[in-house]
Amino acid sequence: NAGVTQTPKFQVLKTGQSMTLQCAQDMNHNSMYWYRQDPGMGLRLIYYSASEGTTDKGEVPNGYNVSRLNKREFSLRLESAAPSQTSVYFCASSRNTFDGVKTDTQYFGPGTRLTVL
């Protein structure tokens, strides 16, 4: 099992350019997440998908769109990149079947380092 994979690993964009970050998981997980990590800020949730066909905003959704293409794949799109979107982006997935006592955790991909000039 590869777990959670992300492409690309690195990307440099100019202000105003668009791009899509790809994420896939092979653990048959229901939920998927996109985070960004900035120095001194921890990980902040951008969007998440509780199940195939559903998406919802997280803490910092402005400037981003997402697509839950199927159960395996969850993509993050920047329509018009801005320097403030320079960050490391992490995708995560979790089983998310709550049956009384929580034991679930999120599994993270290796990240995409994005620089917007």
Partner 1 sequence: DQQVKQNSPSLSVQEGRISILNCDYTNSMFDYFLWYKKYPAEGPTFLISISSIKDKNEDGRFTVFLNKSAKHLSLHIVPSQPGDSAVYFCAANPYNTDKLIFGTGTRLQVFP
Positions that interact with partner 1 (CB under 8 A): 4, 31, 33, 35, 40-45, 48, 50, 58, 90, 92, 94, 96, 98, 101-111
| Least Å from the CB of residue 44 to partner 1 | 7
Q: Is 62 or 105 the residue whose CB approaches partner 1 more closely?
A: 105
Instruction: Annotate 4-49 with DSSP letters as a single string.
Output: EEEE-SEEEE-TT--EEEEEEE-S--SEEEEEEEETTTEEEEEEEE
Q: Taking the CA of residue 8 as centre, how many other CA atoms within 13 Å lie in the half-sphere pointing to its CB?
A: 9
* Residue number with CB closer to partner 1 (17 or 27): 27
Answer whether the bond into residue 8 is a cis peptide, omega within 30°.
Answer: yes
For residue 64, the minimal CB distance to partner 1 (Å) is 16
Please state the closest distance from residue 48 (CB atom) to partner 1, in A: 6
Q: Which is nearer to partner 1, 35 or 74 (CB)?
A: 35
